[in-house]
A and B are shown apart, each in its own frame.
Chain A
Amino acid sequence: MSEEVIELLANYQGEFDSLALATIIESSGSTPRKAGAKMVVFPDGRSEGTIGGGCGEAEIRQQALSLLSKEGGPVLYTLDMTNDVAAAEGMICGGKMEVFIERIAFNN
């Protein structure tokens, strides 16, 4: 369940005024987590929740950090774990997933 992440966002009163939220919106083939799975990325690189771990998650974390580091809207990111690179990196899930990454601002 992504309830822990919802709880974190709802109750967040920490030092940062915005966090990035990554949500799997669609997955096909064999992926570790399904639509709705969520991860929050903090500007300092920490994260909470998981969208599947491994290289895929690391890639999304990078995208999330780059979103936080500049102005700009949410992005849709497609992660393809079916290609050769994935195989070379040892990602054997062999699926594809689409991830929505957005900035959640805390202006209170």
Chain B
Amino acid sequence: MSQLIFKELLAKIKAREKAALATIVKAPLKELIGKKRLLTDTGEELNNLPADLLTAQQHESLLKQIKAALAKEEIAKYSLNLAGLAEKIELLVEVYLPEPRLIVMGGGHIGQALYDFSSKLDFELVVIDDRPKFANQQLFPAAKEVICGAFEEVLSDFNFGLNDYLVIVTRGHQHDYTCLAKVIEAEVDYIGMIGSQRKVAAIFDKLKEEDYTQTDLQMVKAPIGLEINAETPEEIAISILAEIIKERRES
């Protein structure tokens, strides 16, 4: 059983799901010490606490604490009074979050500059392009994944989530539009799309016609990047990464 809980936790980490592993590290009943409980955002859980050691109410208090810790997204120790127990129990809750991931749509000049600079930051990098010449592991040797395929298909199959940062820098407006329409409703931490005010306005108008809401559009950083008067692909990449760092550290 104790290995099983680590297997489950690893599966959650690999699936980029947020998970909390709680361990009882101090308790008046020694049978409770070392017992673990795994909880995810979706409420799924695995539990090696013998059901008969605690009352339903005590289980409930424990669960409530783990949920609160999960929401806080920190690793911390909690002291907990469980009604009916002689002493407080101490609970370590470790929250595992997915590694931050930078997903770049478009492997052109800006995509390559983003790759160069982001390799110094702690992002896993994913590059998507429909041209084999650009969606190429040789061009992005340290990238976690380089995916070659039509944007629409690749993005339909992609699992986006927590700690994902999406950058749309394809070679043309049409592809940028395709990408944005595919990802706009994804629950990610950042979506940015390159383009002039005019191009962005045109793409937003088109999306509104397709019933995407203003709220969806507000999330999109477009024109992308912090305003630093960037001109070259490298400067633009830095302005994009600066904006991503700002978003990431603000929250």
Contacts and interface: CB of A to CB of B under 8 A. Distances in A.
Interface string B1-41: 01100110110010000000001011000100110000000
A10 B92 contact: no
A10 B2 contact: no
Contact of B92 (A7, A9, A25, A106): A25
Interface in A1-16: 1-3, 6-7, 9-12
Interface stretch (A44-52, A55-63, A85-93, A97-105): A97-105
B230 interface: no
B61 to A, nearest CB: 20
B77 interface: yes
A36 interface: yes
A26 interface: yes
Contacts of A100: 23, 25, 92
B94 A36 contact: yes
B154 to A, nearest CB: 26
Contact of B34 (A26, A35, A102): A102
Given A10-B6, A12-B3, A35-B92, A73 B76 contact: no
B220 interface: no
Contacts of B25: 25, 74, 76, 100
Interface residues of B, number: 20
B54 interface: no
Given A36-B94, A104-B3, A74 B33 contact: yes
A35 B76 contact: yes
B76 A10 contact: no
A10 B6 CA distance: 5
Contacts of B13: 3, 6
A37 to B, nearest CB: 9
A34 interface: yes
A100 B7 CA distance: 20
Given A74-B34, A100-B23, A108-B3, A6 B10 contact: yes
A60 B81 CA distance: 29
Contacts of B3: 9-10, 12, 104-106, 108
Interface of B: 2-3, 6-7, 9-10, 13, 23, 25-26, 30, 33-34, 75-77, 92, 94, 96, 99
30 contacts: A2-B94, A3-B13, A3-B96, A6-B6, A6-B9, A6-B13, A7-B10, A9-B3, A10-B3, A10-B6, A10-B9, A11-B10, A12-B3, A23-B92, A25-B25, A25-B77, A25-B92, A26-B77, A35-B75, A35-B76, A35-B92, A35-B94, A36-B94, A73-B30, A73-B33, A74-B34, A100-B23, A103-B34, A104-B2, A108-B3
Interface of A: 1-3, 6-7, 9-12, 23, 25-26, 34-36, 73-74, 76, 98, 100, 102-106, 108
